[in-house]
Structure formats: structure tokens, C-alpha cells
Amino acid sequence: MSDPKHPAVGDLVIDASDVKVTDITPEQIQKLTKVRDGFEDAVHNLLGLKSEDADRAGLNEKDKARLAAAFARDQRIGELLPAAQKLTELLHETRQTTRHEIATILAENAAQAKRRADRALNGAEVLGPLAPLMDYQYAPANKAAATKEKAKEPKQEG
């Protein structure tokens, strides 16, 4: 594992505490000015400009300082983003496999309880405490059966 401040793709710990993050809406994102490929060359050009050349062009030194800070922030985010994206992917995939495990356990337990209730004299007592589990597990089948029954009903006119 690498340093959390400088994570490698696949690391599970990422420290982006030095980056002031921004949370904006999709509508706000659409209004932002975008950079194009090659903007780095333009940034390096402006940052590497001699003072006399900047003065002759009427460029503001404060803009140069702001550009340097923004570019450094962009570079830092570029360092963090691949590891963060991979971590997000890993978390999503882990959640999917965990939910698969949950679904399998729920299905196995519902089927076991149903088999036990079918053999027991007091089947309702067996299934009663498991009503939320049974409702969850068999809801799609019950809905399909209801739809099938509704389709069999004669159409009423008018």
C-alpha cells in the first residue's frame, strides 16, 4: 500500500484532506467553462512567462498566482482521481456481491421456512413471525400471479 496522500490505483485508503472540494449541481456543471486538450501547454506558457513579457502584454501577476494555485490543485486532483474512481468501483462491486449473498441467504431461509410450514400442522404459526421475509421473497411471484389472473378476467365494456 502506498502513502494515502499519494495513493496508487487499488489502494483502500485515500487522503484528500488537503483538497478543498466543491459540491455543485448538474445544472451548475453545465454552465462551467471547460478546458480542451492541450490546456496544460497554455498554462505552462503563461506561468513561465518572464515578468517583462507579462508587463508588456498587460497581464496581471495576481492572475498568474491564481492560475498557478488552480493548476496545482488540478494536478493534485488528477493524482487522486484514478485511485478514488477505482475505490468507488471496488465499493460498488463489493456491495453487489454482498447483496447477492444477502439475497441468497434470504431466499434459502424463506424456502426452508416454507418447506417446514408445508409439513407442519401449525404452518401459519411457523410462517407468522416471518411475514416480512415471506412478503419480500415472494412479492414478485405474487405480483406475477395476480397479473396473470387479471389477464384471464373477461374484459368489461364501458
- For residue range 120-146, list pLDDT tens digits in order: 999 999 999 999 999 999 998 888 888
**Closest by alpha carbon to 15, among 96, 83, 66, 116?**
83
Residue 148: predicted pLDDT: 85
The C-alpha atoms of residue 12 and residue 148 are separated, in whole angstroms, by 48
In 120-130, where does DSSP find H-type helix? 123-127
Residues 6 or more apart whose Cβ sits within 8 Å of residue 94: none
The pTM score is: 0.73
Residues 6 or more apart whose Cβ sits within 8 Å of residue 103: none
The C-alpha atoms of residue 1 and residue 4 are separated, in whole angstroms, by 8
- For residue range 14-57, list pLDDT tens digits in order: 999 999 999 999 999 999 999 999 999 999 999 999 999 999 99
Residue 7: predicted pLDDT: 93
Report the chain's mean pLDDT, rounded to a whole number: 94
| 155 grid coordinates | 374484459
| 94 grid coordinates | 463489493
Burial of residue 119 (number of CB atoms within 10 Å: 0-12, 13-18, 19+): exposed
**Could you tell me what percent of the chain has a pLDDT over 70?**
97
